[in-house]
Amino acid sequence: MAETYAVINQKGGVGKTTTAVNLTACAALSGRKVLLVDADPQGNATSGLGVDRSILEQCLYDLLTDDSVLGPSAEAFNEVVVPTSIQNLSLLPATIDLAGADMALASVMSREAKLRQVLRAGAERYEVVLIDTAPSLGLLTINSLVAAQKVLIPIQCEYYALEGLSQLLEIIHLVQAQINPGLRIAGVILTMYDARTNLAAEVEAEVRANFPGRVFRTVIQRNVRLAEAPSYGMPAVVYDGNCPGSRAYWRLYQEVFGDAETSLGTRSESTHIG
Amino acid sequence: MAETYAVINQKGGVGKTTTAVNLTACAALSGRKVLLVDADPQGNATSGLGVDRSILEQCLYDLLTDDSVLGPSAEAFNEVVVPTSIQNLSLLPATIDLAGADMALASVMSREAKLRQVLRAGAERYEVVLIDTAPSLGLLTINSLVAAQKVLIPIQCEYYALEGLSQLLEIIHLVQAQINPGLRIAGVILTMYDARTNLAAEVEAEVRANFPGRVFRTVIQRNVRLAEAPSYGMPAVVYDGNCPGSRAYWRLYQEVFGDAETSLGTRSESTHIG
């Protein structure tokens, strides 16, 4: 079974999709077979990889709501997965249908484990699976925590960065206790760092103090190339592989998919690429 | 962990509670440490064992809705369990509060596995745990299927005996596939057999033809002592140990808790105690 990561923060605009798209692109460009699961009904990871949502006939929703007793078949899984323009990188896409998933799953058995069942149908072909999640703590996000082995938490270096974090950690704890005891926090990713402000440095210090040893050294700075890449349907690391944002994601990729225990550093070791 | 049986049939009046109360009494009288779990809001097993529901301060509901991350503690479990007048037989009682369980569990995580979590808190002290269930296929009954290792299905020897059975088997299949792969059907118990009618014999033949090798040889006949024992707060096997109903339950007890594989017979071997 592939190593499965969920990129989670119930706050919107913290860089979940940018992180998911660029980390999976780095992994694929490094020769790993990668699946990006778009578990956000907004579908920004889907369009950010250049996949036209309007022509998709099926998406993750259809697999989640497959009512076979044992869940969807490998064939059904492979029918929904689409290739991307990046070699080795496949996508389990989201269309607006996915907005109905929380409702559709509300009354089914093991409703928190449907995504895990979906991934068991076909994800063993991949080395890395990364799930991009919606800005909510609804059933779809719980499913992502149940399906994942590791959690990546992007935190924006802005006011109220830690807002909602204790609630997220409680949910992670609950999922560990009830359904997925193997779930681990891979680490916190500091995003949207603006080196020109004192605020960003203060937030960074606060986050590192709150999560000693659990914040990745690499800090993702605000970068216009990261912001504009999605409108070209490309990850930044493909759109402009040498911009500061892309270089930061390459470093982050090494940290996340290298030996995380040793690479997680403290504030004094943080790495800013400007 | 104790061997855990659920007595299930979503039809009412098929003898679930009579079976649960008498089988647990036989096991306790035989020297086994037994826990009867009353998972039916009607609480007939509770009152049938002589426990006054009106003075109970807590019941199964309180354990099911315990909101500790790891579920109720062993102390909390032991506070709710009450002794009965029969040595070795303890009761996890139901009050009318239990009627709110389906609603209370609807929105919680792993809502189908709450009873399993409750039993893990304290049931390891017992050798046999038997769950009496409500006449419904609601969340409480699903919880019983998730918590149990084996299912006992009482079927009344009347018209429409098999009605609803295919739905019950589907649910059992679903629970096996999704949550509790170890769940097994211990066997079907023919109840309320009236030897004076052709109908009873026809129903028995039909049930045995439909479930070859899975129907217990012992048939529980209609017996007034079985019907009146609950109003004295006693299992029939205690109230009148020598009536035909009690003798039938003793034989059934041997079949269920002996080697079920060899004791499950076909129609030609059936045992009627008259």
Q: What is the pLDDT of residues B220-250, one digit of tens each?
A: 999 999 999 999 999 999 999 999 999 999 9
B33: CB partners within 8 A, 6+ apart: B88, B90, B125, B126, B127, B128
What's the number of domains chain B is made of? 1
From chain B, pick out residues whose CB is under 8 angstroms from the CB of A175.
109
CB contact under 8 A, A109 and B70: no
Q: For residue A69, what pLDDT band results from cuts at 50, 70 and 90?
A: confident
- The whole-number average pLDDT for the span A233-242 is 96
Q: What is the pLDDT of residue A1?
A: 65
Q: For residue A271, what pLDDT band results from cuts at 50, 70 and 90?
A: confident
Pick from B109, B173, B177: which is nearest to A179 by CB? B109
Taking the CA of residue A164 as centre, how many other CA atoms within 13 Å lie in the half-sphere pointing to its CB? 16
Mean pLDDT of chain A: 92
Pick from B109, B173, B175: which is nearest to A178 by CB? B109
Pick from A109, A117, A177: which is nearest to B69 by CB? A177
Pick from A69, A142, A174: which is nearest to B174 by CB? A69
Rounded to an integer, what distance in angstroms lies between the CA atom of residue B214 and that of residue B264?
Answer: 6
Q: What is the pLDDT of residue A216?
A: 97
Q: Could you tell me what percent of chain B has a pLDDT over 70?
A: 95
CB contact under 8 A, B179 and A110: yes
Q: Is the Cβ of A113 closer than 8 Å to some Cβ of chain B?
A: yes
Interface TM-score (ipTM) > 0.90: no
| Amino acid identity, position A10 | Q
Q: Pick the residue of B140, B167, B178, B179 with the most A CBs within 10 A to test the interface with A by mutation.
A: B178
Q: Is the Cβ of B68 closer than 8 Å to some Cβ of chain A?
A: no
Q: Is the pLDDT of residue A82 over 70?
A: yes
Q: Pick the residue of A178, A179, A183 with the most B CBs within 10 A to test the interface with B by mutation.
A: A178
Q: For the domain that residue B211 is a member of, what is the CATH number?
A: 3.40.50.300
pLDDT tens across A136-149, in order?
Answer: 999 999 999 999 99
Q: Is the pLDDT of residue A268 over 60?
A: no
Q: For residue B1, what pLDDT band results from cuts at 50, 70 and 90?
A: low
- The whole-number average pLDDT for the span B66-79 is 93
Pick from A109, A142, A174: which is nearest to B178 by CB? A109
A138: CB partners within 8 A, 6+ apart: A102
pLDDT tens across A163-186, in order?
Answer: 889 899 999 999 999 999 999 999
From chain B, pick out residues whose CB is under 8 angstroms from the CB of A70.
177
Q: What is the pLDDT of residue B270?
A: 72
- DSSP string of chain B? --EEEEE--SSSSSSHHHHHHHHHHHHHHTT--EEEEEE-TT-HHHHHTT--GGG-S--HHHHHT---TT---HHHHHHH-EE-SSTTEEEE---GGGGGHHHHHTTSTTGGGHHHHHHHHHGGG-SEEEEEE-SS-SHHHHHHHHH-SEEEEEEESSTTTTTTHHHHHHHHHHHHHHT-TT-EEEEEEEEEE-TT-HHHHHHHHHHHHHSTT-EEEEEEE--HHHHHGGGGTS-HHHH-TTSHHHHHHHHHHHHHHS-HHHHEE-GGG-EE--
Range(s) of the domain holding residue B152: 3-273
Please name the residue of chain A whose CA is at the shortest distance from the CA of residue B116: A178
Q: Is the Cβ of B110 closer than 8 Å to some Cβ of chain A?
A: yes
Determine contact, residues B61/B98, Cβ cutoff 8 Å: yes
Q: Could you tell me what percent of chain A has a pLDDT over 70?
A: 95
pLDDT tens across A127-137, in order?
Answer: 999 999 999 99
Q: What is the pLDDT of residue A274?
A: 56
- The whole-number average pLDDT for the span A229-256 is 96
CB contact under 8 A, B179 and A69: no
Which of A83-92, B65-74, B104-113 is most confident? Answer: A83-92
Q: Is the Cβ of A174 closer than 8 Å to some Cβ of chain B?
A: yes
Q: Is the Cβ of B55 closer than 8 Å to some Cβ of chain A?
A: no
Minimum distance, in Å, between the CA of residue B132 and any CA atom of chain A? 21
Q: For residue A262, what pLDDT band results from cuts at 50, 70 and 90?
A: very low
Rounded to an integer, what distance in angstroms lies between the CA atom of residue B212 and that of residue B209?
Answer: 6
Q: Is the pLDDT of residue A207 over 50?
A: yes
Q: Is the Cβ of B177 closer than 8 Å to some Cβ of chain A?
A: yes
Size of interface A-B (CB pairs under 8 A): 32
Query: Which of A182-186, A187-191, A254-258 has the lowest average pLDDT?
Result: A254-258
pLDDT tens across B247-256, in order?
Answer: 999 999 999 9
Please name the residue of chain A whose CA is at the shortest distance from the CA of residue B179: A110
Q: Is the Cβ of A55 closer than 8 Å to some Cβ of chain B?
A: no
pLDDT tens across B154-195, in order?
Answer: 999 988 888 889 899 999 999 999 999 999 999 999 999 998
Pick from A70, A109, A174: which is nearest to B112 by CB? A109
B235: CB partners within 8 A, 6+ apart: B21, B22, B24, B25, B48, B49, B86, B229
- The whole-number average pLDDT for the span A194-221 is 94
